[in-house]
Structure 1
């Protein structure tokens, strides 16, 4: 049974009540399982809902089945997006730290 029938993925825009928009920033997928089995994820609000149950910038971890797909990340115009999704490993971040020689 699929708990993610729309195959929502990281970067996609989803809605909970139809007036809000959230960007998917993290998904919990069981090891060795396809994305269809993901049911827990984290989103960040990019358009506040009409009933003001959250604000732009707020993050929330929730069950994916409570949300519906608005549009896929591949269809989002990066220049118009309010936030940039950037995924980097710890190793790549560590390589950005400037090397300093020890003081004599």
Structure 2
């Protein structure tokens, strides 16, 4: 019988989302920067939504998996894991909506 897989198409570890935004940063400084970023989020001086992946990134990840395994072998897709580590409940809900929209609008033969 042919195997099927669930495609993880969106990063849900919030520290990793912050790290992904730190291009050209010395790796030794990343933990400190992530910590300071969390402080700013909790102070309300930084909008955490800027770290969420956009639909285009999610669709690209899904396309890569569909191209590798075939559309028939990828019947399920969604976020990596839970969103309990997100700083705000509404942010997690909005991210799930974004992920859902990207998956619903995904067309295997485009992009």
Q: Which bin holds the TM-score, normalised by the shorter protein? A: under 0.3
Higher gyration radius (CA): 1
Query: TM-score of the superposition, structure 1-length normalised?
Result: 0.25
The structure in which a higher percent of residues are strand is: 1
The structure in which a higher percent of residues are helix is: 2
Greater RCO between the two (CA within 8 Å, min separation 6)? 2
